[in-house]
Amino acid sequence: MKDYGRVQSTVKPPEVDVRETKVFVASNIKDVTTPETDGQPGFTGYEYDLKEYEKDEYIHMLHEKTSQLEDEATNLQIALCDVYEQMS
């Protein structure tokens, strides 16, 4: 993974941009406008955090997140069953 940090663009980026071998993830996307100062032109566009993943690395990360969510959903279902049993 490459973390490009905070970047700016005049075009609003997609949150996930899948390419042939890479995946770019933009997060914390905000509109920005900076005024002209000392003869330097102002900027109107977007500022966001940008990360680049190899496609296989991104797929693996999604798999791990999905597994975690499945575990959390199972735990929630068990907790809800416990609450339901206590109410009966």
CA pair distance 52, 59, nearest whole angstrom: 13
Residue with tokens 């102002």: 42
Cβ atoms of 41 and 5 closer than 8 Å: no
State the pTM of this model: 0.76
**How do the pLDDT tens digits run along the chain, 88 residues long?**
999 999 999 999 999 999 999 999 999 999 999 888 888 888 899 999 999 999 999 999 999 999 999 999 999 999 999 888 888 7
pLDDT value of position 45: 95
- Strand 43-54 relative to strand 22-34: parallel, antiparallel, unpaired? antiparallel
Note the pLDDT of residue 84: 85
Every domain of the chain and the residues it spans = 2-87
